[in-house]
């Protein structure tokens, strides 16, 4: 009952106030992978806080009213102690992971990054990474949510990917489109915005078969579409993530976006914004249900 109240309070705060209750924290600069679509290993970054300073930093954020935390890296499970600390400090911890380092028994919701079937995923994230992540997923103490980033590398793999996921113990799968960075080195990976609609239609067409896991609704898809509501939020001034969430580097300094300093808002493909806008602005019941299940 207390948990239900806390979730309801978080949703109310997101929807009806300008109070920032969410912190997105890079708890480490380390990662064991070098994924082709990741900006992380291509940027310079400040040295990370040591364990004592990171715990103090997180406690300070909680004392300032940040009840929800999204834990990123690098790979957060390169510092499992900091994941455990975040789970104790925050009411609603979400931890993004590549899954290769396992899932510990802490009180947090895991978001597992998988980007396709074995062959496609491994071509993006490295040989053996799919099998390692799925083997760990099968042993996870609670069902993760899967997050997939759609790029030119996996756009034709989505149905086979959903078929593979449908046999796994997961809560569901959400989709982002790859967000290019302003330096543009990886732009060849991005799906042109005008082509998003066909991919979204393909996914929506698979909802009947994969309803148990499909984390996309018509209202959410409309947020990504060029002829939908995309232009209502695709700038740093209008971005809802910036409104409800503060983002921090691993040294505790602020950064403008979870995607780093140079993300191209005009081509943003972040899954959390369609979910947020569908749930909070449009009261899409399925999107609200997804948030309810995802928030710890
Ligand atoms: S696992 Fe995550 S942080 Fe590491 S290289 Fe891949 S996308 Fe980047
Ligand atoms: S790139 Fe970042 S700041 Fe820009 S719209 Fe997307 S989530 Fe918001």
User: How many Cβ atoms are within 10 Å of 33's Cβ, its own excluded?
Assistant: 16
- Candidate from 75, 97, 132, 153 with most ligand 1 atoms within 8 A of CB, to mutate: 75
Question: 199 Cβ partners below 8 Å, 6+ apart?
Answer: 150, 155, 158, 191
Give the span between the Cα atoms of 213 and 66, in whole angstroms.
29
Which residues face 146 on adjacent strands?
A: 112, 173
Q: Say what the pLDDT of residue 225 is.
A: 97
| pLDDT value at 64 more than 70 | yes
| pLDDT value at 148 more than 60 | yes
Helices 129-139 + 118-125 axis angle, to 10: 110
Question: Residue 16: pLDDT band by 50, 70, 90 thresholds?
Answer: low
Q: Identify the helix (H) or strand (E) that includes residue 129.
A: helix 129-139
3 state DSSP class of 153: coil
Please name which of 264, 270, 244, 245 lies closest in space to residue 255, comparing C-alpha atoms. Answer: 245
How many domains are there within the chain? 1
Question: Residue 188: pLDDT band by 50, 70, 90 thresholds?
Answer: confident
CA angle 257, 151, 294 (to 5 degrees): 55
Contact 99, 53 (CB under 8 A): no
Please name which of 150, 148, 174, 138 lies closest in space to residue 293, comparing C-alpha atoms. Answer: 174
Question: Residue 184: pLDDT band by 50, 70, 90 thresholds?
Answer: low
| pLDDT value at 288 more than 80 | yes
Q: Say what the pLDDT of residue 199 is.
A: 98
- Candidate from 193, 232, 234 with most ligand 2 atoms within 8 A of CB, to mutate: 234
Q: Is the CB of 78 under 6 A from ligand 1?
A: no
Q: Identify the helix (H) or strand (E) that includes residue 146.
A: strand 145-150
> Tell me: the pLDDT tens digits for 260-281?
888 999 999 999 999 999 999 9
Helices 285-294 + 2-16 axis angle, to 10: 120
Contact 113, 80 (CB under 8 A): no
Q: How far is CA 296 from CA 72, 84, 94, 133, 208, in A?
A: 16, 14, 7, 21, 27
Read off the pTM. Answer: 0.93
Give the span between the Cα atoms of 106 and 267, in whole angstroms.
35
Question: 206 Cβ partners below 8 Å, 6+ apart?
Answer: 158, 159, 162, 214
Q: Say what the pLDDT of residue 294 is.
A: 84
Ligand closest to 124 (CA) is 1
Structural domain boundaries enclosing 30: 2-294
Structure tokens at 292: 């309810």
Looking at residues 142-153, what average pLDDT do you find?
97
Q: How many CA atoms lie within 13 A of 63 on its CB side?
A: 6
Give nearest CA residue, ligand 2 atom 5.
265
Q: In CATH, what number is assigned to the domain containing residue 183?
A: 3.20.20.70
Residues lining ligand 2, CB < 6 A? 179, 234, 236, 239, 241-242, 256-257, 259, 263, 265, 268, 270
Q: Say what the pLDDT of residue 41 is.
A: 81
Q: Identify the helix (H) or strand (E) that includes residue 202.
A: helix 193-205
Q: How many A from CA of 121 to the centre of ligand 1? A: 12
Of ligand 1's listed atoms, the one at least distance from the Cα of 37 is 7
| pLDDT value at 159 more than 80 | yes
Question: Residue 79: pLDDT band by 50, 70, 90 thresholds?
Answer: very high
- Candidate from 28, 33, 37, 79 with most ligand 1 atoms within 8 A of CB, to mutate: 33
Question: 136 Cβ partners below 8 Å, 6+ apart?
Answer: 99, 100, 101, 102, 103
Ligand closest to 96 (CA) is 1
Please tell me what DSSP assigns to residue 214. Answer: B
> Tell me: the pLDDT tens digits for 210-235?
999 999 999 999 999 999 999 999 99
Please tell me what DSSP assigns to residue 189. Answer: G
Bond preceding residue 74 cis, omega within 30 of 0: yes
What's the N-to-C CA distance of the chain in angstroms?
13
Please name which of 192, 217, 191 lies closest in space to residue 203, comparing C-alpha atoms. Answer: 217
């Amino acid at each position: 009952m207390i948990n239900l109240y806390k979730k309801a309070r978080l949703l109310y705060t997101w929807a009806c106030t300008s109070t920032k209750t969410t912190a997105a924290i890079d708890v480490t600069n380390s990662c064991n992978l070098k994924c082709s679509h990741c900006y992380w290993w291509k940027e310079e970054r400040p040295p990370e806080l040591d364990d004592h300073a990171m715990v103090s930093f997180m406690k300070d954020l909680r004392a300032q009213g940040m009840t929800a935390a999204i834990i990123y890296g690098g790979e957060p499970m390169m510092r499992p102690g900091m994941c455990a600390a975040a789970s104790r400090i925050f009411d609603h911890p979400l931890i993004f992971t590549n899954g290769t380092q396992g899932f510990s028994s802490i009180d947090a919701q895991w978001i597992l990054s998988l980007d396709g079937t074995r062959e496609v995923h491994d071509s993006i994230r490295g040989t053996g990474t799919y099998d390692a992540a799925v083997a760990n997923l099968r042993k996870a103490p609670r069902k993760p949510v899967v997050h997939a980033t759609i790029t030119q590398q996996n756009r034709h793999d989505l149905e086979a990917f959903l078929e593979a996921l449908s046999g796994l113990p997961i809560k569901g799968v959400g989709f982002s489109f790859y967000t290019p960075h302003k330096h543009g080195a990886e732009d060849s990976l991005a799906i042109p915005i005008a082509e998003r609609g066909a991919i979204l239609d393909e996914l929506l067409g698979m909802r009947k078969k994969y309803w148990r896991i499909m984390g996309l609704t018509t209202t959410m898809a409309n947020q990504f579409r060029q002829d939908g509501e995309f232009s209502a939020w695709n700038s740093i001034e209008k971005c809802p993530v910036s409104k409800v969430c503060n983002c921090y580097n691993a040294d505790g300094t602020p950064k403008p976006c979870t995607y780093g300093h140079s993300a191209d808002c005009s081509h943003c493909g972040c899954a959390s914004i369609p979910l947020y806008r569908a749930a909070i602005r449009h009261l899409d019941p399925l999107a609200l249900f997804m948030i309810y299940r995802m928030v710890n």
